[in-house]
Amino acid sequence: LQSRTVKAGELLFAEGDEADCAYVIESGEIEVTMRIEGIMRCVAVLGAGELVGDMGLVDDEPRSASAIATADSRLTIISRADLASKLAVADPLLRLLLEVSVKRLRAKLESLRAATPIPINTAAAVEVARLEGELKAGINSGQMQLYVQPIVDMRSHQIIGFESLVRWMHPITGLVRPDFFIPLAERSGLIVPLGRWVLREACHAALRFDREQNHAKMAGKSGFISVNVSAGQFHDPEFIPELASILRETKLNPERLQLEITESILSDTSAAKRWIAGCKKLGVRIALDDFGTGYSSLSYLHEFDIDTLKIDQSFVRRILEDKRSEKIIITIIQLSQALGLEIVAEGIETQPMFDRLAALGCHYGQGYLIARPSPIDAYFAAR
Ligand code: C2E
Ligand code: CA
Ligand code: CA
Ligand code: CA
């Protein structure tokens, strides 16, 4: 008998596929999902010793469900020919028994598909659990990809650094945006392994920019890489030790790494101060992201050892139409000058926005006008 290995996250077969073989799971875990009322639902989680994809083999119908590996798995293949040769010599009663039980199983699955909808909460919970499983498998099987977006000096137009933005290349759905899966990662705790992956990958990216990037375009200096850190990572006691070991391991100059945190983290003032101090001791820079959206910390901003403020896109977007947004940006720029902070305006989409921000004294900018986030490889290819 032949065997096959599938990586976590890999699709074994999809609903509707022709069924030409069944599998015995030797090791690992396979999740069987069915589309019920338009939503993919997990109908079984199978482990070592169990059989998957066996029905189609017996009754020659297309696959009635999809199977995805949720862990690296080793499978033994039972082909139709294998089965046919065994069945040919099997006791006719045994053969009948097999066919009848497969029919019964199929009918049961069909009734599941037609069943009255699961109450919304349960359905949502099942869906979230399924997505978490997929995200976990995705993180473990290389489906995450690091995108980068340049940050420029608005006076010289030179790139001074990059923000790293993670993407999930889902094997079926395709590219998934972080606005969808970061909250999922946060609530499931997967943000910790995901964040670690991003951090390590970002450090490697910075080193790669060093080797391959046009230095003239980077103001002749080594650019920095900015990495988003969310609440779950902030609360992870291993974050700072891990950060230290990643820096040691990659040998990246820590001054070239910037961590972006949001104001919500600062609400626990003493914990935030300790955390920032821990990061700064390692030599990395701290930016306050989405600045202006959580006004609470504005008055005691000076208490935190922060290097950069990133003006939230919502103000930048309205700068030309809305006097209040412009006033807020002017205030932020004045505040940053008083506190000796650098300012980055995010979400610059048009030339008039760029010009207005530059005229107001904003020195650094980021946005679609300058460049969209793109995979690091594409960045080098475009050069
Ligand atoms: P963010 O940190 O505020 O990142 C900026 C977002 O604005 C990015 O969305 C970026 O693609 C988008 N953007 C950049 N320029 C423009 C523009 O000119 N116009 C508009 N409309 N949008 C622009 P993205 O990549 O979808 O990321 C969304 C959020 O997901 C990020 O918001 C960040 O909070 C989070 N995120 C992304 N990567 C990571 C990560 O590695 N770790 C963590 N913890 N969070 C991440
Ligand atoms: Ca950010
Ligand atoms: Ca932001
Ligand atoms: Ca944001």
- Which residue's CA lies nearest to atom 10 of ligand 1? 373
Quick check: is 288 in a domain? yes
Quick check: is 305 in a domain? yes
Interval between CA 317 and ligand 3 midpoint (Å): 13
Tally of domains within the chain: 2
d(CA 42, CA 130): 7
d(CA 140, CA 197): 10
176-221 tens-digit pLDDT:
889 889 988 998 899 999 999 999 999 999 998 877 765 445 555 6
Establish whether residue 368 lines the binding site of ligand 1, counting it when its CB lies within 6 angstroms of any ligand atom: yes
* Segment holding 381, helix H or strand E: helix 376-382
Interval between CA 253 and ligand 1 midpoint (Å): 25
Q: CA 246, 72, 184 angle in degrees (round to 5)?
A: 60
> Do the beta carbons of residue 235 and residue 249 sit within 8 Å?
no
97, 180: one domain: no
ipTM over 0.95? The verdict is: yes
What mean pLDDT is predicted for residues 262-271? Answer: 88
Establish whether residue 149 lines the binding site of ligand 1, counting it when its CB lies within 6 angstroms of any ligand atom: yes
Ligand positioned closest to the Cα atom of 148:
1
Strands 224-228 and 159-170, by their bridges, are parallel
- The domain boundary, picked from 63, 98, 114, lies at 114
Highest mean pLDDT among 64-78, 296-310, 343-357: 343-357
108, 155: one domain: no
Quick check: is 71 in a domain? yes
What is the reported pLDDT for 311? 93
Percentage of residues in the chain with pLDDT exceeding 70?
90
> Do the beta carbons of residue 60 and residue 19 sit within 8 Å?
yes
Local structure of 142: helix, strand or coil? coil
d(CA 126, CA 42): 8
Containing structural domain, residue 18: 3-114
128-141 tens-digit pLDDT:
788 899 999 999 99
Quick check: is 132 in a domain? no
168, 281: one domain: yes
Confidence tier at 356 by pLDDT (50, 70, 90): very high
Quick check: is 92 in a domain? yes
Establish whether residue 347 lines the binding site of ligand 1, counting it when its CB lies within 6 angstroms of any ligand atom: yes
Closest ligand 1 atom, residue 346 Cα: 15
Establish whether residue 295 lines the binding site of ligand 1, counting it when its CB lies within 6 angstroms of any ligand atom: no
| DSSP designation for 115 | S
Quick check: is 220 in a domain? yes
318-339 tens-digit pLDDT:
999 999 899 989 989 998 998 9
155, 276: one domain: yes
CATH number at residue 165: 3.20.20.450
Beta-carbon contacts of residue 370 (< 8 Å; ≥ 6 apart): 150, 152, 348
* Segment holding 273, helix H or strand E: helix 269-281
Interval between CA 366 and ligand 1 midpoint (Å): 11
Quick check: is 244 in a domain? yes
Quick check: is 181 in a domain? yes
